Amino acid sequence: MIIKRYNNISSFWHKKTECGFTLVELIAVLLILSVAGVFIGEYKPSHNANLVGEIEIIKSHLRYIRYLALSNDSKSWKIYFTDNSYIVYEKTSDEPLMLPNEDSAPRFLSPGLTVELSQNGGAEIVDHIIFDKWGSPADHMTYQVKVSDTASGEYRLFRITKNTGFIR
């Protein structure tokens, strides 16, 4: 065992060790975090939750209709859009389809919201889309769905791609 000699007895009791943070460093970190917290806390997203929610419901219903078309080779499904509602039919039937988790066959949007279906990048407004047995638009066109909030003028778009029916 090696014994280290100290010239001064005080150096034995007061060895310098570098572990931990100084009070100045801790205060600086707290100051930076509090300034960052003010900016993060002030951030408010500029989206209408009602509008985004309705879009997700419409997308899920369109995916459900695609599923129905894919699961039955002999049936095609069509969906008709009006200003504030949409309704689904089997192509050769006049009996409306009740969508999952809905109370009525026509699905009404929340008050103040409108929906619009178009082709050719929004150039041609149409009122319906038909999904064939492969789950794609029967006329092999890309569709654009626009959901608008009439009060704020805010709107969101999504597309149904030709040949695949992919909803994005």
Residue 88 is predicted with a pLDDT of 94
Q: Is the pLDDT of residue 13 over 90?
A: no
Per cent of the chain over pLDDT 70 is: 86
Per-residue pLDDT of 55-99, as tens digits, reads 999 999 999 999 998 898 778 899 999 999 999 999 888 899 999
Which pLDDT band, with edges at 50, 70 and 90, does 116 fall under?
A: very high
Tokens 């005080």 belong to which residue? 10
CB neighbour list of residue 95: distance below 8 Å, 6 or more residues apart: 89
Per-residue pLDDT of 131-163, as tens digits, reads 988 888 988 899 999 999 999 899 999 999 988
- Per-residue DSSP letters for 104-161? SSSEEPPTTEEEEEEEGGGTEEESEEEE-TTSSBTT---EEEEEEETTT--EEEEEE-
| Rounded CA separation 70/135 (Å) | 5
Domains of the chain: 49-160 (3.55.40.10)
Amino acid at 98: M
Neighbours of 79 (CB within 10 A): 21
At residue 166's C-alpha, the angle toward residues 111 and 157, to 5°, is 35
Q: Is the pLDDT of residue 7 over 60?
A: no
Nearest to 118 by CA among 91, 146, 149: 146
Q: Is the pLDDT of residue 130 over 80?
A: yes
| Rounded CA separation 79/77 (Å) | 7
Mean per-residue pLDDT for 108-132? 91
Per-residue pLDDT of 18-44, as tens digits, reads 677 888 999 999 999 988 888 777 666
